[in-house]
Amino acid sequence: MTAPTRWAIDPSLPIYEQIWRTLAGAIARGEIAPGEALPSVRDLAVQLGVNVNTVQKAYRTLESARLAQSRPGQGTFAQADAAAIARHRERQIDESVARLLEDLETWGVGADAAADTVARFVRNGGSTGGTAR
């Protein structure tokens, strides 16, 4: 396969994490079909211009998250382990919510008020406006 999404490496974040998270996302969303071969470690390293051992580490992380499986002599393949995908999805959602809460906090919206703020945003079709009613 070609890489599911073209992505550029951000040198300010751990590179192996960017690789495994991008692939994990693509596998969890079904963009890489279960059983489909991931690029070889070498090909992906060359394509991204990164170290082979870094890609290796990303693949090992994918395997221990049960989102991929390596078959000796054949390569690494996407795995459709429903529980693993659910865990990954949950973790991503947790991180998104944590980021949102952190950001709202800087605007004086505490965690206790966050749910109401989000509900109002959805109800008003994309605005939390009219705080003074």
Partner 1 sequence: MTVEVEHVSVRYDAVTALDDMSLTVAPGQVVGILGINGAGKSSLLRAIAGVGRVSSGTIRVDGKADRTALRAACAFAPDSGGVYPIAAERTGRLFGDVWPGFDVAAFEGWLDRLQVPRGRPGTTLSRGQAARLRLATVLSRPGDVLLLDEPLGGIDPASRDRIAEALALHLAETGRTTLVATHEVTEVEPLLERVVVIEDGRVAWDEEADALRARTGRSVDLWLRRRA
Residue 99 in the binding site for partner 1 (CB under 8 A)? no
What is the rounded CA–CA span in Å between residue 73 and residue 60? 15
Residue 61 in the binding site for partner 1 (CB under 8 A)? no
- Considering the complex, state which of residue 15 and residue 100 has its C-beta at the smaller distance from partner 1: 15
- Considering the complex, state which of residue 54 and residue 79 has its C-beta at the smaller distance from partner 1: 54
Contact indicator for 60, 20 with CB cutoff of 8 Å: no
- Considering the complex, state which of residue 52 and residue 98 has its C-beta at the smaller distance from partner 1: 52
* Strand segments (E) across the chain: 68-71, 75-78
- Considering the complex, state which of residue 46 and residue 93 has its C-beta at the smaller distance from partner 1: 46
Question: For the chain, what's the residue count?
Answer: 133
Residue 127 backbone class (left: φ over 0; alpha: ψ -120 to 50; beta: rest): beta
Give the interface size with partner 1 as a residue count (CB under 8 A). Answer: 19
Residue 11 in the binding site for partner 1 (CB under 8 A)? yes
- In this structure, what token pair is assigned to residue 118? 């989000």
Q: Compute the Cα dihedral for 105, 108, 111, 114 and give only its sign.
A: negative
Rounded to a whole number of angstroms, the CA Rg of the chain reads 19
Considering only 24-32, 45-53, 66-74, 109-117, which stretch makes contact with partner 1 by CB under 8 A? 45-53
Considering only 4-12, 80-88, 95-103, 108-116, which stretch makes contact with partner 1 by CB under 8 A? 4-12
- Interface residues with partner 1 (CB under 8 A)? 9, 11-17, 42-43, 45-46, 48-54
